[in-house]
Amino acid sequence: MEKMSRVTTAHSSSAISGRTMFCHLDAPANAISVCRDATQVVVAGRNIFKIYALEEEQFVEKLNLRVGRKPSLNFSCADVMWHQMEENLLATAATNGAVVTWNLGKPSRNKQDQLFTEHKRTVNKVCFHPTDVYMLLSGSQDGFMKCFDLRKKESVSTFSGQSESVRDVQFSIKDYFTFAATFENGNVQVWDIRRPDRYERMFTAHTGPVFCCDWHPDDRGWLATGGRDKMVKVWDMTTNRAKEIYCVQTIASVARVKWRPEKKFHLATCSMMVDHNIYVWDVRRPFIPFATFEEHKDVTTGIVWRHQHDPHFLLSGSKDSTLYQHMFKDATRPVDKANPEGLCFGLFGDLAFAAKESLISSDANRKPYPGGDRRYPIFFFKKPDPTEQFAHVSSALSVFETDLDSNRMDWFVKTAQLYLLCGKPFAELCDHNAKVARELKRPQVSTTWTMLRIMFSDPANPTTPGLNHSLSNKLGTLPLMNSFSMKEMGPGMGTESRLERSKGESRQDNAHLEPGILHISNNNEENEETEGSEGQAEYMFGDAELDDDDLYSMEHENQTEEQECTLPQEAFQLRHEIMDNPSAPEHLQQDKADSPHVSGNEAEVTCLTPIESFSLISISQPLFSPHLPASFFCPIVREMLSYYAEQGDVQMAVSVLIVLGDRIRKEIDDLTQEHWYMSYIDLLQRFELWNVSNEVIKLSTCSAITCLNQASTTLHINCSNCKRPMSNKGWICDRCHQCASVCAVCHHVVKGLFVWCQGCSHGGHLEHIMNWLKSSAHCPAGCGHLCEYT
Amino acid sequence: MASNGYNTPGLGSGRHRYESESDVGPTVNSLARLCSKDEDERAASLEELSQGVLACLGSDRLISKQTLLNLLRLSRSCPLQEVRGRATELLHTAQEQGVEVPRALASGPSAFIPAKEMLKEVPDQDILIESFLSVGRVDHITMVMAMHPAYLSCFLRTQHALLEMDGPLPRHWRHYIAVMAAARHHCSYLVQQHSAGFLDAGGEESWLSGLKHAPTKLRSLQTLNKLLAHRPWLITLQHIQELVCPGAEHRWSLAELIHAVILMAHAHSLCSFGWGCGLNPEPNHIGGYTFQLPSPSHLPRSPHSPHSPAHEDGRQELGDGAMEVEVLMQRMVELQQQEEECTQEEMVTRFERERSESIPTTVVREAPPDLVLGLVEEPEFRYEDFAPKGEQSPPTMRAQDYSWEDHGFSLVNRLLPDMGQLLDEKFQVVSNMTYHRMAMHEGVDTHTLRKALWNYIHCLYGIRYDDYDYGSVNVLLERSLKVFVKTMACHPEQTTARVYHAFWRHFRHSEKVHANLIVMEARLQAALLYTLRAITHYMR
């Protein structure tokens, strides 16, 4: 409050103090203005023109300037301004085009002093010169600005904007002769008061009307403008071309903008439509208001800082017929309610996660930042007031790259190419496909294939060894996958690479990062080490590769994780002996989630694995008793297929569907099948796997799919002579009666199969060309092209 | 209008539908290709079209009425010379073969403006061709508006965005809303245009036979439609609340509502334009064609359909009108120089006088035509003159307190992105459009006259500009013009040729159409302002 005491002594009046308060007006306000010593405020509107005294606890009505039985339209004010040099002098802009000055020192009831009726249309704005007592400027809807000398009866100069309506005029606070005007067409003009013939400079600031502007009280070159396009822009006018240095995007058209006194980067705005709040922005932080005043029930029409050197009091008038004094300390701070975390997937499966630094790695060594960013000169450096700063929000951004191999869809392409769907006995197909999956490090899929073979194969076939192998394989990996998913929930965030950021600037130079935190590894299969919030817990990535299912699990840990571990065991659930098996991994999760010391993780996993696989293997033998018919498994397989399809692995669903063929087809309704086929074919075609796609179409049993290859088999040809489409016969043109296709070898008309070179477009009978090219490399037509027959 | 209204039978020709579907297939296809940008493609489809028709003639198959009407329409309104010629030729051939061929009753797009003069005043055909190629037809509205190409292009853009582009309402709903709106002003032209568009967009035919077949949600718009058409100043936030209130069963979202409101206001003002220009029915509309041969004793004359403006010749009373123009020019100049001071009361009185001046507009209260009968509720609800004393009159709306530029635009753009921009552009074009000429004079600043016209309409709708002296309305707008403007804005269905011909007798037709456009847009803005203000209050 040091500042304030200085202020009060300087102006020798009672100290500015007060609280958030309001009073009801009789009518909506259009504009307000304060007198220089900040003790009185004038409110003007269509049906109101009053002066209120600002007292400690309340507003007190001092004077009603609206006198007369039937007040004229000259009282209908669009704008009002209190002179900052002469405390008895007011000016209003009337909606009927009049500019009126008022002298409070007049003894009569009617304080009207001068009346200028030079404007043809509504006057939108009046502005006194900040230092010259007699100079008044007005801007009107008729496109003119006029400068009045109050000692004379009429304007001394007229400025023509040569464009549409003037919305705002403002004298520069520092340059005696300069003023800015904003226009309905989006332009801003800067004028020299001595040169009414032509503006000094003009630039387009907004799309649509520029409703307001305000010169920075301290920095001579800065001009803030607000427009219907919902933007507030700050312009640096010192350069040759006005340069936009800051831009704030608000949520509604900006009706007024006012720099906050003594705060270089703060400005207050209010809107003309829909949004009733007053915002105070820090122009360097354009995405969230620094403070908000939410008291008004209808649009705010006038805002003014109570004293030109005091940033703590804001006055506002509104269409809801109230006049408010807002204390800055009572403002809401939207930043407190903002969600500090953000999460997003990248195009190639990368995951970015931003959160408060403290959340990600609040180790004891890191100290919170005092005050704002040091790189900016802070205006009152001596006493950093925490409430005057944006809450310290430095976030850490972590980017989780996926394994180069797995983030691509390579596995999909390879699988599609390598899978065998027909042509071999069922068991061999399954084995082959299981092997393919295993080699691509997709053990779950691989196991599924193996299980399918077991379920549907002729039980007489001795297949046990293979099974044993695959089972243990699967069980070896499964719990590890769990532990991987779990780790993503941990406070430490398994990171592969981590970028630290604060306020959008790189802070690499700040050596507060411990080497241990910044642990960059591109290889997912290595174990990761990260810092936890309390203990120095160690985490480990499982050996399971990060295929895209796993990647998903970062987002929906709980849900997918559960499926992840329970689904493969669904197949076993029927076997009562191991009914309790699924609970084991769940228990494991529970453990991990509860325990802060997750370092025991690895040990648990390793000790669990043998038990599990033991129990399975030990009971695996009796399973193959030939009592169970293949159809017994059908419901399970159906569920499994649906599961895969839901997971997005429609490839698996379709492949199994084809391989199993009649064994499963009847279990699944045609529409679903067709849907799967269509999705898979669509995917294949996107990867340009035309052959596989055709094979799938051919092998499918859905009528809707097989007919895909029968569609559009017509080939339209044009006559080579007259370029008209040939409708009747393929070999003679109706129009020019020429034979279109002549064999280049025998010079007869080709009526059957016609083959032609895509290079030189010569061709002929299939056999003729075939024979010709056996003996010669050149085109039979003699064009010299080296044709090829493949 | 309808993006491709081909093969969509107008009302009443439903019985021809089956027939047309069965044999017109290729014809429809080639009709669509007729508006290809590629010249060869157009030539080919024209060829195909004539082949199809000739084949029909040769094989004694029945040519559907729809095809004939389409040919008739093409022969009359297609801006492409070759298409027009071929269509005429084909009709002629068909007639020679003994087929009963329809004949257009109207001689041009407008009953007020002779077709020849219209052609003379359309600056260039390019815009018509452009419109034909993009929309697939050139309707009478477009032809008349083509006198002012700058306006036409932004009008078509807005209309296209309203009816066809992305928006919260389904396409057939949009056309139905337009039908509902046009029905309020008994405008069978627009009703038929949008009915075709409605069917084209997949709407159910039964809806067109009466409001009771339409969904409740659409029917709930009736009150708003009625007020918007005739007395928009009565719209309050209660009306908005009823539609948007979360408790209501068939609630409207604000975005849907804004869309519907703009559609309705657009259609209402377009009705004004349609009646004000005496639009003739399209050749394929009911009342736009006949299968009867012209009786030899009569020259072809304007259609006698009861729903199209009767062609009365108002020109007989042409007096010495040249003087009038001079006087008007004189007055405009005087007004611009005049520095007359008048008291506040005087200003208010002048506004009230203009607002309540009794202009005899209501001639007859004829019952709505059958076509729209089922589509209107409370047909007797009409624009009403303000009480002369101004005591019971509704409060005026101050333009400074709720204006399009400051408030309306933001609201529309917020709820229906881009639409605000389009409307804004249209308002600007219409208020700035000038050719610097008046009747036989060149180089005239017509600003005051245009302003007076605009403000007079707003005055009729109770919107007052503080900074405007309504005395100049009285000076600039002669009584016959006021009669026309008021009739057209407030009771459009009663506009007659007499009224049209009575004002500005020495002015060009294009200048009268210009006045028409100003009235239409001013009316649109006035209606929108009231509704948007109510919506703003609701959102508060």
Structural domain includes residue B258 = yes
* Residue B506 Ramachandran class (φ > 0 left, ψ -120 to 50 alpha, else beta): alpha
Q: Tell me, what's the pLDDT at A395?
A: 75
Domain shared by B38 and B175, yes or no: no
B162 and B289 within one domain = yes
Closest CA to B177 of B213, B232, B225: B225
B466 interaction partners in chain A (CB closer than 8 Å): 73, 76, 94-97, 122
Residue B13 to residue B11: CA distance in whole angstroms: 5
Q: What ipTM describes this predicted complex?
A: 0.74
Inter-chain touch B410–A76, beta carbons under 8 Å: no
Judgement on whether residues B21 and B158 belong to the same structural domain of the protein: no
Nearest residue in B to A96, CA atom = B467
Domain termination residue (choose one: B99, B133, B149): B99
Domain final residue, candidates B99, B134, B155 = B99
Please tell me the total count of domains within chain B.
Answer: 2
CB B410 to CB A46 under 8 A?
Answer: no
Side-chain-side CA neighbours of A168 within 13 Å: the count stands at: 26
Judge if B125 and B82 occupy the same domain. no
Show the low-confidence residues of chain A (pLDDT under 50): 1-14, 362-384, 460-624
Contacts of A208 in chain B (CB under 8 A): 409, 424
Residue of A nearest to B533 (CA): A273
The answer to whether A692 and A655 are in contact (CB under 8 A) is no
**What 3 state SS string does A678-708 have?**
HHHHHHHHHCCCHHHHHHHHHHCCCHHHHHH
Q: Which two tokens stand for residue B529?
A: 């302002």
Asked if residue B213 is part of any domain, the answer here is yes
Q: What is the pLDDT of residue A614?
A: 41
Same domain, B90 and B196: no
Q: Is some CB atom of chain A closer than 8 A to the CB atom of B409?
A: yes
- Does B11 reside within a domain? no
- Provide, for chain B, the percentages of residues in helix, strand and coil under a 3-state DSSP scheme, each rounded to the nearest 5: 60, 5, 35
Query: Is residue B538 one of the residues assigned to a domain?
Result: yes
| Amino acid, single-letter form, for residue A80 | V
| Token code pair at residue B135 | 């929309």
Alpha helices (H) along A521-660? 548-555, 557-573, 583-594, 601-620, 634-647, 650-660
At residue A537, what are phi and psi to the nearest 5 degrees?
-70, 150
Tens digit of pLDDT at every position of chain B (540 positions): 333 333 333 333 333 333 333 344 445 555 666 766 777 777 877 787 777 777 777 666 666 777 777 777 777 777 777 777 778 888 777 777 777 777 776 677 777 887 777 777 666 777 777 777 777 778 888 888 888 888 988 998 999 899 888 888 888 899 999 999 988 888 888 888 888 888 888 888 888 888 888 888 888 888 899 889 888 888 888 888 888 876 667 788 888 899 999 999 999 999 999 888 888 887 777 766 666 655 544 444 444 444 444 444 444 444 455 677 777 777 777 776 665 556 666 777 777 777 767 666 555 556 666 666 667 777 777 777 655 445 556 677 888 888 898 889 989 988 888 899 999 999 999 888 888 888 778 788 888 888 889 998 998 888 888 888 888 888 888 888 888 888 888 888 888 888 888 888 878 888 888 999 999 999 999 999 999 999 988 887
B46 and B167 together in one domain: no
Q: How far apart are CA A665 and CA A366, in angstroms?
A: 62
Asked whether residue B112 is assigned to any structural domain, the reply reads no
Pairwise CB contact (< 8 Å): B398 & A46: yes
Query: Which of A121, A184, A208 has the CB atom closest to B467's CB atom?
Result: A121
Q: Are residues B89 and B231 in the same domain?
A: no
Q: How far apart are CA A219 and CA A226, in angstroms?
A: 18
Q: Is residue B453 part of a domain?
A: yes
> Is B344 within 8 Å of A70 when comparing Cβ atoms?
yes
Task: Give B 286-345 residues with CB within 8 A of chain A.
Answer: 341, 343-345
Residue B269 contacts residue B520 (beta carbons within 8 Å): yes
Owner of token pair 């058209």: A253
pLDDT at A386: 58
- Count CB atoms within 10 A of the CB of residue B438: 22
pLDDT tens digits for A43-90? 999 888 999 998 888 899 988 888 877 767 778 889 999 998 888 899
Listed in sequence order, the DSSP H helices in B59-98 are 65-77, 81-96
Domain containing B299 equals: 119-540
Closest-CA distance, B256 to chain A, in angstroms, reads 18
CB contact under 8 A, A228 and B410: yes
Domain boundary among B68, B99, B130: B99
Query: Of how many residues is chain A composed?
Result: 790
Structure tokens at A656: 């199994």
**pLDDT score at B434:** 86
- Pairing relationship of beta strands B463-464 and B397-398 according to DSSP bridges: parallel
d(CA A22, CA A173): 30
CB atoms within 10 A of CB B15: 9
Interface contact flag, B345 A70, Cβ < 8 Å: yes
CB A24 within 8 A of CB A294: no
The two beta strands, A497-502 and A505-506, are antiparallel
Which tens digits make up the pLDDT trace of B402-460? Answer: 889 888 998 998 888 889 999 999 999 988 888 888 877 878 888 888 888 999 899 88
Residues B126, B30: one domain?
Answer: no
Size of interface A-B (CB pairs under 8 A): 65
Burial A532-561 (b: 16+ CB within 10 A, else e): beeeebbbbbbebbbbbbbbbbbeebeebb
Residues 6+ apart with CB under 8 A from A339: none
B228 and B283 part of one domain: yes
- Domain co-membership, B123 together with B69: no
Residue B412 to residue A441: CA distance in whole angstroms: 56
B459 an active-site residue?
Answer: no
Q: Given CB atoms, is B480 within the 8 Å cutoff of chain A?
A: no
Residue B210 lies in a domain: yes
Does residue B293 form part of some domain? yes
Distance CA B380, CA B15 (A): 33
A184:B341 CB<8 A: no
Same domain (yes/no): B341, B454: yes
Catalytic residue among B187, B271, B277, B459: B187
Q: How far does chain B reach from its first CA to its final CA, in angstroms?
A: 36
A interface test, pick of B351, B405, B538 with most A CB neighbours within 10 Å: B405
Same domain, B28 and B170: no
